[in-house]
Amino acid sequence: MFDDTLKNFKDLTPRDFRILTGIEIEMKNYEWVPVLELKKYAGLSAEKLSYHLERLRRKKMVVGTLDPYDGYKIYFEAYDALALHTYVQRKTIAAVGSEIGVGKESVVVEVLKEPEIEIADPEVLILKLHREGRTSFKQVKRTREHLVGKEHFSWIYAARLAAKREFTIMKHLYPDISIPKPIDQNRHTILMEVARGSELSKTKVLDPDWYLDEILSQIRLVYSKGIIHNDLSEYNIFVSDEGVQLIDWPQYITKDHPHAEELLRRDIENVVNHFSKKYMISRDTNEILKDLLENTTFESDITGEPGIENPAAIEEPEEADAADVFEEGDEEFAERF
Ligand SMILES: Nc1ncnc2c1ncn2[C@@H]1O[C@H](COP(=O)(O)OP(=O)(O)OP(=O)(O)O)[C@@H](O)[C@H]1O
Ligand SMILES: [Mg+2]
Which residue's CA lies nearest to atom 16 of ligand 1?
Answer: 248
Residue 5 clears pLDDT 70, i.e. is over it: yes
Task: Tell me: do 187 and 108 sit in the same domain.
Answer: yes
List the one residue out of 253, 262, 267 whose CA is nearest residue 144.
Answer: 253
The whole-model pTM stands at 0.88
Q: Which residues line ligand 1 (CB under 6 A)?
A: 100-101, 103-106, 108, 126, 128, 180, 192, 194-195, 199, 235-236, 247-248
Per-residue confidence (pLDDT) for residue 112, from 0 to 100: 94
CA distance 75 to 85: 16
**Domain shared by 84 and 66, yes or no:** no
Whether residues 120 and 59 share a domain: the answer is no
CATH number at residue 117: 3.30.200.20
Residue ending a domain, choose from 34, 51, 75:
75
CATH number of the domain at 246, please: 1.10.510.10
Pocket test for ligand 1, best of 108, 236, 244 (most atoms within 8 A of CB): 108
Residues 202 and 285 in one domain: yes
Q: How far is the CA of 128 from the centre of ligand 1 (A)?
A: 8
Residues 212 and 134 in one domain: no
Q: CATH code at 60?
A: 1.10.10.10
Domain count across the chain: 3
161, part of any domain: yes
Residue 249 lies in a domain: yes
Residue 180 near residue 247 (C-beta atoms within 8 A): yes
Q: Are residues 189 and 203 in the same domain?
A: no
Same domain for 119 and 59, yes or no, is no
Ligand 2 is an ion; its neighbours by CB within 5 Å are 103, 236, 248
Q: Which of 195, 218, 241 is the last residue of a domain?
A: 195
Nearest residue (by CA) to ligand 1, atom 24, is 103
Residues 25-42: pLDDT tens digits?
A: 888 888 889 999 999 899
Q: Is residue 238 part of a domain?
A: yes
Per-residue burial over 141-151, b if 16 or more Cβ lie within 10 Å, else e, is beebebbeeee
Is the per-residue pLDDT at 101 higher than 70?
Answer: yes
Q: Is the pLDDT of residue 238 over 80?
A: yes
Asked whether residue 334 carries a pLDDT value surpassing 70, the answer given is no
- Considering the domain architecture, whether residues 15 and 112 belong to the same structural domain is answered as no
For the CA of 192, the closest atom of ligand 1 is: 1
Q: Is the pLDDT of residue 328 over 60?
A: no
Q: Give me the domain span that covers residue 69.
A: 2-75
